[in-house]
Amino acid sequence: MELREVVIVANGYKESAQKVSKEIQRYLGKRNVSSSIIVTSDNTDFSAINAKTNLVISVGGDGTVLSSARAVLEYGIPILAVNLGTFGYITEIGSNEWKDALDDIFEDNETISRRLTLKVIVLRNGKNVFKAFALNEAVVSSAGISRMVHLNLSINNTLAGQFRSDGLIISTPTGSTGYSLAAGGPILYSDMSAIVVTSVCPFTLSNRPLVVGSNEIITINVPKGQRTDLLLTVDGQITFEILEDDEVVVEKSRSRILLINSKKRNHTEILRSKLNWSGGNFNA
C-alpha cells in the first residue's frame, strides 16, 4: 500500500489519543507522508477524509473505529485501529505497536480483514425517511426504561415471528461480540458473511438468537398499540425515533470496511483474553 495522504482520527475525550496522534503524525512526516488529525466531538467534521485519502488511523477505542468506519465506507479506505486501553474486539493494535504496523504497510506486508456492514433504512408510509450504515449492529428498542415492545420480524418478506421483548438486535459478525453477545447471542468470527438476529429479554423463552445468510433481507415492522416510544440505534452512536407502522429494513451493504490486522495477535487470542477463556489451575 502506497501512503500519500493519511488522516488520523483521535478520540476527543481521551487526552492520550491526541498525544499519540501527534507522535504518529511526526513519524509519518519523517517518511514524507502528508497527514492531518481529526479530533472527535459531538459534531465531528469528517470532510478531511475523501477519495485522496490512502489510510485512516483510528486512535482511541472501538467507538472511534465505528465513527471512522462510516466516514470511509464509500471510499473503501483501510483503517488502522490503535487502542489506547485494553484491547477492544475491533481495535487489535496496542498504543506501543503502531510503528510496527505502519512499517508493515510501508513494506507492503500488511494483512487486511474485510468486514461485512449493514445498510439500515426506515420506511414510513412507503417513503425512505432514514438511512445509515452499521459495522456493529442496528437495534430497535423502547426509548424509555424497562418497557416491552411488540415487533414483527420478517426475513425475505416471510414472517418469521412476532416478538414481545425489550428490543431486537440485528448484528454483523463484527458486532456479535457487542450488545448481541450481552443479550445472549452467538459469537461469529469477524470475517464470516452472516447476520445475527437477537431478541433482548424476550417475554417468550422459546425466542432464540437466529443466524441467517448475509444475502437475506430483514424487516422489522412496528405494529400499532405500542405502550412506549421506540428508538432505532445504529452502532450505539446514531439514533432515530421510530413510529407505529414504520418498517426498519436491514440488509448487507455493498461495501465492506477494511481493517488492518494485528501481527501480534489474532481473533481467537482476542476472544480468549476478553472473555477470560484462559481457565485456571486444574492441577490436583
> Which of these is catalytic: 45, 62, 166, 245?
62
- Percent helix, strand, coil in the chain, to 5, is 20, 35, 45
Q: For residues 211 and 223, is the Cβ–Cβ distance under 8 A?
A: no
The C-alpha angle 154, 138, 198, rounded to 5 degrees, equals 60
Q: For residues 257 and 73, is the Cβ–Cβ distance under 8 A?
A: yes
The pLDDT profile of the chain, 284 residues, written as one tens digit per residue, is: 889 999 999 999 988 999 999 999 999 999 999 999 999 988 899 999 999 999 999 999 889 999 999 999 999 999 999 998 765 678 778 888 999 999 999 999 999 999 999 999 999 999 999 999 999 999 999 998 768 999 999 999 999 999 999 999 999 999 999 999 999 999 999 889 999 999 999 888 778 999 999 999 999 999 999 989 999 999 999 999 999 999 999 999 999 999 998 877 677 777 777 777 766 554 54
Rounded to 5 degrees, φ, ψ at 31 are -95, 15
- Whether 62 is a known active-site residue: answer yes
The helix/strand/coil state of 114 is: strand
Q: What is the homologous superfamily of the domain 118-252 according to CATH? A: Probable inorganic polyphosphate/atp-NAD kinase; domain 2 (2.60.200.30)
d(CA 180, CA 169): 6
Regarding pTM above 0.95, the answer is: no
CATH, domain 5-115+256-274, list 3.40.50.1360, 3.40.50.10330, 3.90.1200.10, 3.30.390.10: 3.40.50.10330
Domain extent listing, the chain = 5-115+256-274, 118-252
Question: What residues are paired with 247 via a beta bridge?
Answer: 123, 221
The DSSP code for 204 is S
Report helix angle 98-106 to 15-30, nearest 10: 30
